[in-house]
Structure formats: C-alpha cells, structure tokens
Amino acid sequence: MAATRATDGPSARAMFAALQTHALAQGLALRPPPAEPTTCCGRGCNGCVWEGFADAAEYWRQEALLVLGYE
C-alpha cells in the first residue's frame, strides 16, 4: 500500500485519510498532517503556498509510510 503523492488539496485530504485509516487499523498513531494554506491569492505565484504544502504533505506521507512499515 503506497498512497500516491498529493497534487492538490482534495488529493492531500484523501491521502491523509487513507494513511490515517491504515494506521488506526494497525493500532498506530501518526502525527497530524500539515494544515492546508489559507493565504493563496490564486495568481499562480512562483513559490506559491500550495507548493510548500505539497512538499510538506509529501514529507508527511513518507514519514507515515515508514511508521506503517511500507517503506
């Protein structure tokens, strides 16, 4: 089981939920996932807050997979 990398808010929420469900089924706890940005202006800025969120979500995913024993 390897949840795929999140590419936006909805896919991140789905990925977080899937991995948290697997953790609960194994009796494990994961740290809280990163919060979604609230300051995006929607202009596609270089260095958009969503890029940082995607990086943080990927770090969280990798850490969760290690805790779950998938990697």
List the chain domain ranges. 1-11+21-28+47-71
What are 9-64's pLDDT values in tens digits? 999 999 999 999 999 999 999 999 999 999 989 898 888 999 999 999 999 999 99
Residue 7's pLDDT is what? 83
Question: CB neighbours of 39 closer than 8 A, spacing ≥ 6?
Answer: 49
DSSP 6-46: P-SHHHHHHHHHHHHHHHHHTT---PPPPPPPS---SS--T
Residue in the structure block whose two tokens are 């929420």 = 13
Residue-wise over 58-71: b if at least 16 C-beta within 10 A, else e? eebbeebbebbeee
